[in-house]
Structure 1
Amino acid sequence: MRNLTKHLVFLLLIFVVQTASSTVFAKKSKPNILIIMADDCTFSDLPLYGGKNVKTPRIDKLASQGIAFNKAYVTMSMCVPCRAELYTGMQPAHNGVCWNHSIARTGTKSIVHYLADLGYRTGIAGKVHASPKDVFPFDMVEGVERNSVSETANYDGDKLKEFISKDLDQPFCLVTALVVPHIPWTVGDASHFDPQKLKLPPYLADTKETRENFARYLAEIEVLDQQVGATLDLLKEANIEENTIVIFTSEQGAQLPFCKWTNWENGVHTGFIVRWPGKVIPGSRTDALVQYADVLPTLIDALDGKPNGDFDGSSFLPVLLGEKNSHRQYAYFMHNNVPEGPPYPIRSITDGEHHYIRNLTPKNLYIEKHLMARMPLNQYWPSWIFESASNSEIHELVMRYMRRPSEELYNLKNDSNEMSNLAGNKEMQPIKNRLSAELDKWMKQQGDPGAVIDSHEEFRNAKKGNHFLMEK
Structure 2
Amino acid sequence: MYKNIITLVFAFLFVSVLHTNAEQKPNILIIMADDCTHSDLPLYGGQNVKTPHIDQLASQGMTFNNAYVTMSMCVPCRAELYTGLQPVSSGVCWNHAIARTGTQSIVQYLGELNYRVGITGKVHADPRSVYPFEIVEGVEDNCVSTTAKYDAAGMREFMARDQEQPFCMVTALVVPHIPWTVGDPSHFKPEEFDLPPYLADNKETRTEFAKYLAEVEVLDQQIGETLALLDDLKIADNTIVIFTSEQGAQLPFCKWTNWNNGVHTGFVVRWPGKVESGVRTDALIQYNDVLPTLLDALGSTTKAEFDGSSFLPVLLGEKDTHREYAYFMHNNVPEGPAYPIRSVTDGKYHYIRNLSPENLYIERHLMARMPLNKYWPSWVFDASDDPEILDLVTRYQKRPAEELYNLADDPNEMKNLSNQKEVSGIQKKLSKELDKWLKEQGDPGAGLDTYEELQNARKGNHFKALND
Task: State the one-letter code of the partner of 1:434.
Answer: K
Provide the rounded CA distance (Å) in 2 between the counterparts of 1:453 and 1:145: 33
Residue equivalent to 2:109 = 114
1:118 Cα offset (Å) = 1.0
Structure 2, gaps ≥5 residues long:
none
Residue equivalent to 2:67 = 72
Contact 1:151/1:187 (<8 A) preserved: yes
Contact 1:213/1:377 (<8 A) preserved: no
1:213 aligns with 2:208: yes
Provide the rounded CA distance (Å) in 2 between the counterparts of 1:444 and 1:67: 34
Residue equivalent to 1:403 = 398
1:426 Cα offset (Å) = 1.1
1:239 aligns with 2:234: yes
Q: Percent identity?
A: 69
* Residues 387-402 of structure 1 mapped to structure 2, 5 A cutoff: 387-402=382-397
* Residues 83-232 of structure 1 mapped to structure 2, 5 A cutoff: 83-232=78-227
Provide the rounded CA distance (Å) in 2 between the counterparts of 1:83 and 1:200: 29
1:194 Cα offset (Å) = 1.0
Provide the rounded CA distance (Å) in 1 between the counterparts of 2:128 and 2:400: 40
1:337 aligns with 2:332: yes
Provide the rounded CA distance (Å) in 2 between the counterparts of 1:361 and 1:52: 36
Residue equivalent to 2:428 = 433
Contact 1:297/1:307 (<8 A) preserved: no
1:377 Cα offset (Å) = 3.4
Q: Report the more deviating stretch, 264-273 or 458-467.
A: 458-467
Provide the rounded CA distance (Å) in 2 between the counterparts of 1:197 and 1:36: 31
Provide the rounded CA distance (Å) in 1 between the counterparts of 2:301 and 2:51: 36
Task: State the one-letter code of the partner of 1:209.
Answer: E
2:441 to 443, 446, 456: 446
Query: Aligned to 2:342, what secondary structure does the other structure show?
Result: strand
1:373 to 352, 368, 377: 368
Residue equivalent to 2:342 = 347
Provide the rounded CA distance (Å) in 1 between the counterparts of 2:168 and 2:200: 41
Query: Aligned to 1:233, what secondary structure does the other structure show?
Result: helix
1:297 aligns with 2:297: no
Task: State the one-letter code of the partner of 2:71.
Answer: M
Task: State the one-letter code of the partner of 2:69.
Answer: V
TM-score computed with the length of structure 1 as normaliser: 0.95
CA RMSD of aligned residues (A): 2.0
Provide the rounded CA distance (Å) in 2 between the counterparts of 1:115 and 1:202: 43
Task: State the one-letter code of the partner of 2:156.
Answer: K
Residue equivalent to 2:33 = 38
Contact 1:209/1:380 (<8 A) preserved: yes
1:62 Cα offset (Å) = 0.2
Provide the rounded CA distance (Å) in 2 between the counterparts of 1:377 and 1:468: 33
Provide the rounded CA distance (Å) in 2 between the counterparts of 1:275 and 1:92: 28
Deviation digits for residues 194-227 of structure 1 (CA, Å, limit 9, x no counterpart): 1111111000001111111000000000000000
Provide the rounded CA distance (Å) in 2 between the counterparts of 1:224 and 1:136: 25
Provide the rounded CA distance (Å) in 1 between the counterparts of 2:218 and 2:457: 35
Does the C-alpha gap of structure 1 residues 283 and 26 become closer, same or farther in structure 2, counting only changes over 3 Å?
A: closer
Residue equivalent to 1:311 = 306
Q: Report the more deviating stretch, 308-317 or 81-90.
A: 308-317
Residue equivalent to 1:59 = 54
Query: Aligned to 1:459, what secondary structure does the other structure show?
Result: helix
Structure 1, gaps ≥5 residues long:
none
Contact 1:39/1:250 (<8 A) preserved: yes
Provide the rounded CA distance (Å) in 2 between the counterparts of 1:256 and 1:51: 16
Provide the rounded CA distance (Å) in 1 between the counterparts of 2:446 and 2:305: 25
Task: State the one-letter code of the partner of 1:130.
Answer: A
Contact 1:346/1:358 (<8 A) preserved: yes
Provide the rounded CA distance (Å) in 2 between the counterparts of 1:216 and 1:138: 32
1:427 Cα offset (Å) = 1.3
Provide the rounded CA distance (Å) in 2 between the counterparts of 1:22 and 1:288: 35
Provide the rounded CA distance (Å) in 2 between the counterparts of 1:359 and 1:467: 23
Does the C-alpha gap of structure 1 residues 23 and 464 become closer, same or farther in structure 2, counting only changes over 3 Å?
A: farther
TM-score computed with the length of structure 2 as normaliser: 0.96
Q: Report the more deviating stretch, 47-56 or 302-311.
A: 302-311
Query: Aligned to 1:123, what secondary structure does the other structure show?
Result: strand
Residue equivalent to 1:82 = 77
Residue equivalent to 1:422 = 417
1:176 Cα offset (Å) = 0.2
1:26 Cα offset (Å) = 5.5
Q: Report the more deviating stretch, 342-351 or 11-20.
A: 11-20
